[in-house]
């Protein structure tokens, strides 16, 4: 077991680096997690990498390790670490050594946390796939907010990992049509494997009578395309976070006359329609179940050692068409990975 901690930070726009330091001693009540995989978010994380994140709000008030940081550089980001408990401090009697856990935390080889910060990974979820938990929870939230109905025509703009997970969930509904739109052929093919009935490029002509449209591309200009695609009284679920980027919208035509509804969907909270029956724990349970059941092996396209993190961000920043989900790796995993 190494006594060196490695972590990733952004030193400035498009400048990622890997740092090393001795492992801190455990305090009473703390545990240490040896991280095996952390998932890079190609959406929110790239906003911080590129310097496009807004400065007027907290980095993420719902995640302790992010809420402690202020805007500006250097900054550590990320929120999807999966690994095993490798040390337990005094009075921390809940966890067990070797237990597989998920932690919302920036990219790092070792996490010092309290037991309450840890989410046990179900036995039937492989360790690498567990790093997709935040993305699956987000996809579940999108589907709950969009409320697809039987026989509806649904379109999904943007086939990053969240768009593809959303597609996989939507494919379980008795829809008339599920159309997925993305410029990358590999992502369109993946959406068909997950249950899409039709694919298109952004340049292809689409019908303008979809019941439900998801804008998940992260590109502000696509929102206008999504609005134009919706039918009368159609719903457009906006799952993208644009940061400082502005969305150019033409609201004087189809949007105005067709009574289109724009729905903001963000995973930190649960829509008021569901609060009487749903909480975060129930949504996590469903996300774990979907991670276990759905055919998601094709989504993890790259596993790179943490030392290659700068190159990983470069691939995402360049929009490499064969990249869907990059996992950073930290050590060898021998069982249920």
Residue 22 is predicted with a pLDDT of 93
pTM: 0.91
pLDDT value of position 171: 98
**CATH number of 4-132+296-329: 3.60.21.10, 3.30.390.30, 3.90.180.10, 3.40.190.170?**
3.90.180.10
Q: No. of H helices and E strands in the chain?
A: 10, 15
pLDDT digits (tens, 9 = 90+) for 276-287: 999 999 999 999
Q: How far apart are CA 277 and CA 94, in angstroms?
A: 28
Query: Reduced to 3 states, what is the DSSP secondary structure of residue 189?
Result: helix
Predicted confidence pLDDT, tens digits, the chain (337 residues):
468 999 999 999 999 999 999 998 998 889 999 999 999 998 889 989 998 887 655 555 455 565 465 667 899 999 999 999 999 988 766 668 899 999 999 999 999 999 999 999 999 999 999 999 999 999 999 999 999 999 999 999 999 999 999 999 999 999 999 999 999 999 999 999 999 999 999 999 898 999 999 999 999 999 999 999 999 999 999 999 888 888 888 888 888 889 999 999 999 899 989 999 999 999 999 999 999 999 999 999 999 999 999 999 999 999 888 999 999 999 744 344 5
Per-residue model confidence (pLDDT) at position 151: 98
Could you write out the DSSP letters of every residue in 252-277?
A: SSHHHHTT-EEEE--TTS--TTTTTT
pLDDT of 335: 41
**Which strands sit side by side in the sheet containing 198-200, from one edge to the other?**
198-200, 177-181, 153-157, 210-215, 230-238, 261-264
Lookup result for tokens 């994380």: 45
Residue 248 has what pLDDT?
82
The CATH topology of domain 141-264 is Rossmann fold (3.40.50)
Q: Beta strand 100-103 with 119-120: parallel, antiparallel or unpaired?
A: antiparallel
What does the pLDDT read at residue 90?
Answer: 81
pLDDT digits (tens, 9 = 90+) for 16-67: 999 999 998 998 889 999 999 999 998 889 989 998 887 655 555 455 565 4
The most distant pair of C-alpha atoms in the chain lies apart, rounded to whole Å, by: 65
From-to residues of CATH 3.90.180.10 in the chain:
4-132+296-329
CA atoms of 263 and 223, how far apart (whole Å): 12
Q: Where in the chain is the domain with CATH 3.40.50.720?
A: 141-264
């Amino acid at each position: 077991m190494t006594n060196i901690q490695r972590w990733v930070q952004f030193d400035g726009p498009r400048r990622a680096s890997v740092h090393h330091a001795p492992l801190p001693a455990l305090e009473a009540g703390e545990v240490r997690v040896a991280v095996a995989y952390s998932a890079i978010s190609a959406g929110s994380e790239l906003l911080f990498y590129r310097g496009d994140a807004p400065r007027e709000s907290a980095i993420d008030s719902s995640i302790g390790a992010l809420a402690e940081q202020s805007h500006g550089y250097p900054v550590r980001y990320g929120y999807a670490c999966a690994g095993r408990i490798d040390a337990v401090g005094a009075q921390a009697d809940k966890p067990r050594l070797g237990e597989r856990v998920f932690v919302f935390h920036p990219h790092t080889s070792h996490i010092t946390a309290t037991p309450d910060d840890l989410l046990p990974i179900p036995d039937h979820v492989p360790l690498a796939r567990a790093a997709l938990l935040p993305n699956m929870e987000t996809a579940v939230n999108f589907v709950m907010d969009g409320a697809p109905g039987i026989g509806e025509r649904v379109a999904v703009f943007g086939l990053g990992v969240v768009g593809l997970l959303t597609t996989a969930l939507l494919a379980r509904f008795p829809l008339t049509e599920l159309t997925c739109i993305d410029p990358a052929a590999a992502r369109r093919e993946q959406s068909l494997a997950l249950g899409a009935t039709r694919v298109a490029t952004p340049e292809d002509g689409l019908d303008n009578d979809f019941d439900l449209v998801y804008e998940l591309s992260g590109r502000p200009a696509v929102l206008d395309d999504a609005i134009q695609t919706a039918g009368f009284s159609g719903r457009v679920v906006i799952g993208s976070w644009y940061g400082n980027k502005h969305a150019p919208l033409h609201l004087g035509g189809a949007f105005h006359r067709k009574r289109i509804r724009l729905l903001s969907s963000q995973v930190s909270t649960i829509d008021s329609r569901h609060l009487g029956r749903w909480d975060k724990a129930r949504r996590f349970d469903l996300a774990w179940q979907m991670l276990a059941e759905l055919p998601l092996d094709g989504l993890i396209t790259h596993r790179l050692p943490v030392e290659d993190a700068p190159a990983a961000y470069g691939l995402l920043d360049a929009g490499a068409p064969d990249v869907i989900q990059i996992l950073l790796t930290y050590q060898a995993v021998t069982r249920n990975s």
